[in-house]
A and B are shown apart, each in its own frame.
Chain A
Amino acid sequence: MKCVVTGSNVKVLGKAVHSLSRIGDELYLEPLDDGLSLRTVNSSRSAYACFLFAPLFFQQYQPTTPGQDLLRCKILMKSFLSIFRSLAMLEKTVEKCYISLNDRSSCLVVQLHYKYGVKKTHNLSFQDCESLQAVFSPASCPHVLRAPARILGEAVLPFPLALAEVTLGIGRGRRVILRSYQEKEEADSTTKAMVTEMSIGEEDFQQLQAPEGVAITFCLKEFRGLLSFAESANLPLTIHFDAPGRPAIFTIEDSLLDGHFVLATLLELDIHSQDQSSSEPHQQARSTAHQDNFASDDIDSYMIAMETTVGSEGSRALPSVSLTPGPQHHSNPGPDSEEDEDEAEPSPVPGTPPPKKFRSLFFGSILAPPHSPQGPNPVLAEDSDGEG
């Protein structure tokens, strides 16, 4: 494989590597006939990302050297990232970037041609690997949301960098709501975090195909990674999603490249505890109710029904906390943990925090032996990790 990237495309490539580096520690590089693909998956296999650079992206693109099979390789993200570390410098000083992969050298060679004839060659040792391919199909997702990356970028701006997950949903009046996700146990403790909610009107979206009340929760860090790429490339971002627990697919497309991020979404296991009105869509709907009267709210609707007379401090104790029977369900995960989520979860006890559950995405082809019955099944497998 041999390819040449020139001019500002070097920065685009670098930017893509930066956003991939937010996900995985290893980079899978695979030259295909329809372009060069860069892929990664995170260690818990709950996030997968893939960029495909079309042959037109390159000044020269040769997926195979004559008389050779298609090669693919796996390299350390860290070492590949270090080549593209400073994007500002790349843009200013690099004129060309050669990437070549061949059998003989057993190295992935990345050569940067700087101004004034300076050349920098990186030889990265690699491992052979199977093709990394997550099984997903955007077409099977019933809900679609599409907006310019800038809009979504501004939408996640108010959230703190340390925030792990965010809930995306459609609220009343078809407003798109982003809300910081709080674990239930966290919400019960005394050190609560600030909850931030962003509400954006439908008009800002190019496509909004989802009914009111749907909501998914996913990792913000990975999403920010793709967003920063899409923002710099000034591309619209499409989010395909389904019910909670099913993966959400984030895509960007251009004539020269496309990017797919597949992120696991949080499976809310508290259907039985809906009487607590704490399931995510409910929360969404409730908080939007507050929002709707932003212009005309009445002071009487915002009242703290809390007495602060002398000695009232005891009344602040949450009664539901005392009912919590402790970690009884988690004490013996046992060897049968593969299926026990169905038995353990529907606990009738209110106030028991449901464990956080991201479903792993399953990658058949890289792990399974060749005779594995794993076909091109569009269904993602159940989480096999148990709850550890």
Chain B
Amino acid sequence: MKFRAKIVDAACLNHFTRVSNMIARLAKTCTLRISPEKLNFILCDRLASGGVSMWSELEQENFFSEFQMEGVSAENNVIYVELASENLSRALKTAQNARTLKIKLTNKNFPCLTVSVELLSVSSSSRIVTHDIPIKVIPRRLWKDLQEPSVPDADVSIYLPALKTMKSVVEKMKNISNHLVMEANLSGDLNLKIETELVCVTTHFRDLGNPPLASGDTPWDRDPAEMAEVCVDIRKLLQLLAGQQVNPTKALCSLVAGRMLHLHLLYEDVSLQYFIPARS
């Protein structure tokens, strides 16, 4: 099992840092899946701790100038490692004015993901910072739990309003209730609703638009005005909204009534899927 990659471009490094910061805000520990074309950051929470899952994907060639890997075997050319996402984000923080950044799998006193950074300095001397992030290599029999989650057929899919706006609304709602009901229909309406014994607050968004159906999909078989609703843990939703430093180019939300909320954020070179189970 081998892995080595290199970033030389400052913009790419910036992007990669931003991705890792976003991951660090969403998950304490995450799984990094390394394959020849892609890097994935995966979170699969157990039901007891909220049951949230995350699948984030980036094309390696958009970031790395060099990328070499060798998986477990030729037919299973993948590597799965588990790491504390904060460590990666902290390691990349020191790389802000780096000349080169290298990431590699090493086995020093323990298996680690080594991030070494050659810093730019005023003098001619070179300064090198090395971070050894402890990792756990995930055995193959556990890989099946870490596959891309399949999205069950959604009742309603809708584009989200600006996440910043949504965040400030949800932030205030969090002070009143622990749960939030998200309602949406096929005519572009989205409601964020909280209900307590004393008060019921609803924020309405209109004309958000629904994504067109791909050819071959079964057409929506429902009244366009009928709302589908999902009740979720408000903190989990806020965690996602607060973790976005840049507005995504596209943000899509799919509701599976009574089961889950699937949020799909698309950035220039990263995609992030976030699954929040419905509160039972």
Q: Which residues of A contact B (CB under 8 A)?
A: 154-155, 157-158, 160, 187, 192-204, 278, 286-287, 290-291, 294, 297, 299-300, 302-313, 316
Which B204-250 residues have a C-beta within 8 angstroms of A? Answer: none
Chain A residues near B108 (CB-CB < 8 A): 195, 286-287
Shortest B190–chain A CB gap in Å is: 41
A308–B140 contact, CB under 8 A?
yes
Q: In the complex, what distance in Å separates the CA atom of A316 from the CA atom of B134?
A: 14
Interface size on B, residues (CB 8 A): 44
Contact of B107 among A196, A197, A198, A303 (CB under 8 A): A303
A302-B104 in contact given A194-B91, A203-B125 (Cβ < 8 Å):
yes
A-B contacts besides A192-B110, A196-B94, A303-B1, 18 pairs, CB < 8 Å:
A193-B134, A194-B84, A194-B91, A195-B112, A195-B131, A195-B132, A196-B131, A198-B130, A199-B128, A200-B127, A204-B121, A286-B108, A291-B128, A303-B2, A303-B107, A304-B111, A307-B72, A309-B140
Task: Specify which chain B residues have a CB less than 8 angstroms from the CB of A307 in the assembled complex.
Answer: 72
Evaluate whether A194 and B125 lie within 8 angstroms (CB atoms) in the complex, with A308-B137, A310-B140, A311-B139 already known.
no
* Chain A residues closer than 8 Å to B91, beta-carbon distance: 194, 196
Which residues of B are found within 8 Å of A290, using beta-carbon distances? 106, 114, 130
B125 touching A201, Cβ below 8 Å: yes
How far is the CB of B65 from the nearest CB of chain A, in Å? 14
B107, A306: Cβ atoms closer than 8 Å: yes
Asked if B165 lies at the interface with its beta carbon under 8 angstroms from chain A, I say: no
Quote the shortest CB–CB distance from A166 to chain B (angstroms). 13
Q: Is A304 within 8 A of B137, CB to CB?
A: yes
Partner of A300 from the list B2, B107, B112, B136 (CB cut-off 8 Å) is: B2
27 contacts between A and B (CB under 8 A): A158-B129, A158-B131, A194-B87, A194-B90, A194-B131, A196-B94, A197-B129, A197-B131, A197-B132, A198-B130, A199-B127, A203-B125, A204-B121, A204-B123, A204-B127, A294-B116, A299-B68, A299-B104, A300-B2, A302-B4, A302-B105, A305-B107, A306-B111, A307-B72, A308-B1, A310-B140, A312-B139
A132 to B278, CA, bound (A): 65
- The answer to whether the Cβ of B141 comes within 8 Å of any Cβ in the partner chain is yes
The residue that B129 contacts in the complex, of A160, A196, A297, with Cβ under 8 A, is: A196
CB distance from B187 to the nearest CB of A (A): 50
8 Å CB interface, B39-88 against A: 68, 72, 80, 84, 87
Interchain pairs with CB closer than 8 A, number: 120
> With A304-B137, A306-B111 known to touch, is A199 a contact of B130 (CB < 8 Å)?
yes
**Would you call B138 an interface residue if the criterion is a C-beta within 8 Å of the partner chain's C-beta atoms?**
yes
Given A198-B129, A203-B124, A294-B116 in contact, is the A158-B94 Cβ separation under 8 Å? yes
Among A187, A200, A294, point to the contact of B125 (Cβ < 8 A): A200
Contacts of A160 in B (CB 8 A): 90
B109 within 8 A of A: yes
Is the Cβ of B1 less than 8 Å from the Cβ of A306?
Answer: yes
Q: Which residues of B contact A (CB under 8 A)?
A: 1-4, 68, 72, 80, 84, 87, 90-91, 94, 102, 104-112, 114, 116, 118, 121, 123-134, 136-141
- Given known contacts A187-B110, A299-B68, A303-B2, A310 and B134 CB-to-CB distance under 8 angstroms: no
Per a CB cutoff under 8 Å, which of B104, B130, B133 touches A291?
Answer: B130
- Cα-based distance from A306 to B108 in the complex (angstroms): 12
Identify B109's interface contact among A187, A193, A313, CB under 8 A.
A187
- Ranked nearest first, the 6 interchain pairs of A and B with the lowest CB-CB distance are A201-B125, A192-B134, A158-B94, A203-B125, A195-B132, A194-B87
Contact, CB under 8 Å: A310 / B128: no
> What residues of A have a CB within 8 angstroms of the CB of B107 in the complex?
303-306
A160 to B4, CA, bound (A): 25
Q: Give CA–CA (A287, B129) in the complex, Å.
A: 11
Cα-based distance from A287 to B2 in the complex (angstroms): 19
A199 to B132, CA, bound (A): 14
Specify which chain B residues have a CB less than 8 angstroms from the CB of A302 in the assembled complex: 2-4, 104-106, 114
A300 to B138, CA, bound (A): 21
Contacts of B1 in A (CB 8 A): 303-304, 306, 308
Alpha-carbon distance between A383 and B124 when the two chains are bound, in angstroms: 44
Complex CA–CA separation, A309 to B114 (angstroms):
23
B100 (CB) vs chain A CBs: closest residue:
A294
Chain A residues with Cβ below 8 Å from B87 are 194
Minimum CB–CB distance for A265 against chain B, Å: 22
> Taking the nearest CB of chain B, how far is it from the CB of A211, in angstroms?
20
- Whether the Cβ atoms of B140 and A287 lie closer than 8 Å is no
Q: Contact at A304–B110, with CB atoms within 8 Å?
A: no
Residues from chain A with a CB closer than 8 A to the CB of B133 are 194
